[in-house]
Amino acid sequence: MLKIENIVKQYESHVALNDVSLIVPNGSVFGLLGPNGAGKTSLIRIINQITAPDSGKVYFKNELLKPEHIHQIGYLPEERGLYKKMEIGDQILYLAQLKGLSKTESIKRAKYWFQKMEIESWWNKKVEELSKGMQQKVQFIATIIHEPELLILDEPFSGFDPVNADIIKNEFLELNKKGTTIIFSSHRMESVEQLCNHIALIHQSKKILEGRVTDIRNQYKNNTYSVVIRSGKSDEEIKNSGFSIKTITHQENVIQLEIQLEEGASINQTLSKLISQFEIISFEEVIPSIHDIFIQNVTQSN
Amino acid sequence: MKKIALIISREYMSRVKKKSFIIMTFLGPLLIGGMYAIAIWLAVNADEMNKKKDVYVIDESKQFTGHLRDSKSLSFQYVTTNLEETKKSIEGDEDSYVLYIPNLAKDLSGVQLYSTKQASISVVSYIEKEIESELKDKKLVENGISRDILKSLDMDVSLETIRLTDQGEESGSAGASYGVGMLGSILIYLFIFLYGVQVMRGVIEEKNNRIVEVIISSVKPFQLMMGKIVGIALVGLTQFVLWVVLTTSISGLVTQKLSKQLDTKMEQSGAIAPSQMGAGGASSAFQKSADASGNDVSKIMDAINTINFPLLIGAFLFYFLCGYLLYAALFAAIGSAVDNESETQQFMFPVTLPLIFSFVLSSSAVVNNPDGPIAFWMSMIPLTSPIVMMVRIPFGVPTWQIICSMILLIGGFIGTVWIAAKIYRTGILMYGKKVTFKEMFKWLRY
């Protein structure tokens, strides 16, 4: 869907993007992650043709990005809002027409979405009369009314209350099922990692990691298992029971162990050895979270 | 282009539908019509309002008796009673004065004016002038010049100005030129200020509502800026046209109503003239002055007719639009660089300075010498030319100068829009940052 090649963007005093390349696959939910100030918004603005890169190329559906493409992109900026004194119906029609829809088509689609979001009775209300949650629904409709093939959401859930965030999130995922590619940008990695199937990590203007979420996490797992046992033995005895134990945590009446699998040992062997010594409650592989991977990468690069 | 049209129509509709716009559009002409009605009513009822005030003259030398001429508001009565008695007789009477003139043969001091209220400067200076002129006449008579000759010296000359042009001789009037030119430049000045500031407010509003990034993901910042500027220009033109139409129709109505009243009033006073000499006199005086003012009006109309209206209106529309576009672009740039209106002050100053400067100078230096170097250069520089050139055109400006000024203004307009678009583009995406001129200058190179 989107291919970004060697983008460089420099402002007066600092480099916002330093030779960033990435590929957003068709139909993916792509997480653009990184701390504040990493360069995410700069990259998004380049994709939306709000600013131009100093060098580098962006391809949209294998074509060099050009002005007409904005009709196929939906953008929800981090700094978002609506005209406070304009009726929301008119407002949606205006924004839809700016995205290239005809007036009749805009009306048809706006009616559909107003019904779906259960706000059709608010058509003639002004934004300033609406509750925050209501405004967010309107904002959502404005973002997707032209049925974009690519949706770019910058910090989409900041400022949403949990209920509305859930409604909107489900709408986004539904669109994704119908084939819309979505880019989520966020500095709160845990909030989007369950949603995304692809991610790119950006830190200090550089891309430090990119790929499928499952691949990345598998790549970063290191044969560590979490075992919950019930045992009367002391910590000392457990440590010397023949496993390479990384941590021992006491919880209520159980003990959680993190075990590093030894070279060449199979899971079943280890498990049977454990069963012979302890009462096993659970046994699972430890897969690092994106956040952990990010921290690991950042500390490494520093 | 379709998108700019959409933006223009939104900017236009959202403003025209506002209550404040509708109220202002109808209230303005009503106020003007109302003032006009009051002015006519005052003129009609002037005799009653301006009751003549009596000046009781105690003339020791009898030299002035019968020689002080009455004015519109003063009537001289010569009394023979002594000063104390006369003073007592006007006690409590606000509309009377007592003028005491001693024998002035040797000494010019000692002339006194008594009144219950402080006499106004115009009354004092009128009386002083009358006494002085009588003294002068007296001296002239003593030296053998007869009163008849003196009377024939009382002359009123009004200068007729004729311009020599390629088309032949054209009579004109400096006053009419001045009036028409000033009117044009005042309108341009007001329009630029009122609607330029609206552009700035609109930009700040979009920034504050955080909608600007949503929109510029669909349109270019330049389109958004130009759409706003043009949309607001159309709002201004709409208001302007409505004002002209409504004001003329309301004043027309007022004139019609009041002129009937005026006619009947004249007839009435004419009918009672024989029985009441005073009122009749006043009325005929009124008629005389009405005739005189009628002459003046026709003179002014003649003068106005000599002004080249197609040129003037064409030039007005051109300078009106281009001047507005130039300043509106600058105002848009200011709006984009700040977060709220209170921060605009430091940037407003340098932008409004040439505007105010040219407005002030156009009513003094330019009018006094419409072809002088100040007038010439200010009518060439794009920031000042919309206002200054409007003042100059009724006095006659060489064609090459007008063309040159217009080309420079178009160039200036394109230049400022280019600069403003660069500042705007960066400014609208900046939040919570105090911007300086230095920074704005840097934005030009992004």
pLDDT tens digits along B229-283: 999 999 988 988 888 888 888 878 877 777 666 666 655 555 444 444 444 444 4
* B176 and B91 assigned to the same domain: no
What tokens were used for A246?
A: 């990384």
* B199 and B72 assigned to the same domain: no
Please check whether residue B215 touches A, CB under 8 A. Answer: yes
* B221 and B86 assigned to the same domain: no
Give the model's pLDDT for residue B275: 42
What tokens were used for B314?
A: 């064409």
| Mean pLDDT along residues A84-101 | 91
Give the model's pLDDT for residue A257: 87
For A222-286, the fitting CATH number among 3.40.50.11750, 3.30.70.260, 3.40.50.11540, 2.40.480.10 is 3.30.70.260
Q: Could you list the mean pLDDT of each consecutive 10-residue stretch along chain B, which spans 446 residues?
A: 90 90 86 81 65 82 80 82 81 82 79 83 86 85 82 75 64 68 85 90 90 89 92 90 85 75 60 43 46 56 66 86 92 90 85 88 79 87 89 83 92 92 87 79 76
* B290 and B201 assigned to the same domain: yes
From chain A, the residues in CB contact with B218 under 8 A are 70, 95, 98-99
Give the model's pLDDT for residue B283: 44
Give the model's pLDDT for residue B282: 43
Positive or negative, the CA dihedral A194, A198, A202, A205 is negative
* B268 and B196 assigned to the same domain: yes
Q: Tell me whether residue B202 is in a domain.
A: yes
pTM of the model: 0.75
Give the model's pLDDT for residue B65: 80
Distance from C-alpha of B98 to C-alpha of A260, rounded to nearest angstrom: 122
Confidence label for A141 from pLDDT (cuts 50, 70 and 90): very high
Please check whether residue B441 touches A, CB under 8 A. Answer: no
Q: Tell me whether residue B33 is in a domain.
A: no
- Does residue A180 register a pLDDT over 90? yes
What tokens were used for B378?
A: 């200010």
The minimum CA-CA distance between B210 and chain A, rounded to whole Å, is 5
Give the model's pLDDT for residue A293: 86
CB crowding B129-162: b at 16 or more within 10 Å, else e? ebbeebeebeeeeeeeeeeeeeeeeeeeeeeeee
Cβ contact B218–A70 (<8 Å): yes
Please check whether residue B442 touches A, CB under 8 A. Answer: yes
* B80 and B120 assigned to the same domain: yes
Q: Tell me whether residue B30 is in a domain.
A: no
Of the candidates A294, A222, A204, which has an alpha carbon nearest to the alpha carbon of residue A260?
Answer: A222
- Does residue A170 register a pLDDT over 50? yes
Q: Which CATH class is domain A2-218?
A: alpha beta
* B215 and B339 assigned to the same domain: yes
* B225 and B350 assigned to the same domain: yes
Q: Tell me whether residue B405 is in a domain.
A: yes
Give the model's pLDDT for residue B89: 81
Give the model's pLDDT for residue A46: 92
Decide if B181 contacts B388 (C-beta within 8 A): no
As separate numbers, helices (DSSP H) first and strands (DSSP E) second, chain B gives 17, 6
* B255 and B331 assigned to the same domain: yes
> Could you tell me the residue ranges of all domains in chain A?
2-218, 222-286
Please check whether residue B14 touches A, CB under 8 A. Answer: yes
* B190 and B324 assigned to the same domain: yes
The minimum CA-CA distance between B340 and chain A, rounded to whole Å, is 16
* B134 and B186 assigned to the same domain: no
Most confident region among A156-170, A171-185, B71-85, B112-126 by mean pLDDT:
A171-185
More confident residue, A239 or B226: B226
pLDDT tens digits along B101-114: 888 777 778 888 88
Give the model's pLDDT for residue B232: 94
Q: Tell me whether residue B21 is in a domain.
A: no
Range of the domain at B265: 170-298+305-443
Is residue B432 classed exposed, middle or buried when 0-12, 13-18 and 19+ CB atoms within 10 A define those classes? exposed
Q: Tell me whether residue B184 is in a domain.
A: yes
pLDDT tens digits along A11-47: 877 888 989 999 999 999 999 988 888 889 899 999 9
Q: What is the CATH number of the domain that holds B74?
A: 3.40.190.10
| Mean pLDDT along residues A116-121 | 87
Cβ contact A50–B215 (<8 Å): no
Cβ contact A83–B218 (<8 Å): no
* B332 and B184 assigned to the same domain: yes
Decide if A74 contacts A152 (C-beta within 8 A): yes
The minimum CA-CA distance between A200 and chain B, rounded to whole Å, is 23
Cβ contact B209–A83 (<8 Å): yes
Mutate one of A45, A98, A153 to test the B interface: name it (highest B CB count within 10 A). Answer: A98
Chain A residues within 8 A (CB-CB) of chain B? 11-12, 45, 48, 50, 67, 70, 73, 75-77, 79-86, 94-95, 97-99, 142
Query: How many domains does chain B contain in total?
Result: 2
Distance from C-alpha of A292 to C-alpha of A220, rounded to nearest angstrom: 10
- Does residue A93 register a pLDDT over 70? yes
Q: Tell me whether residue B41 is in a domain.
A: no
pLDDT tens digits along A265-279: 788 888 888 888 888
Please check whether residue B10 touches A, CB under 8 A. Answer: yes
Cβ neighbours of A4 (radius 10 Å): 22
Distance from C-alpha of A34 to C-alpha of A185, rounded to nearest angstrom: 8
Write the residue in A70, A79, A95 that is nearest to B213 by C-beta. Answer: A79
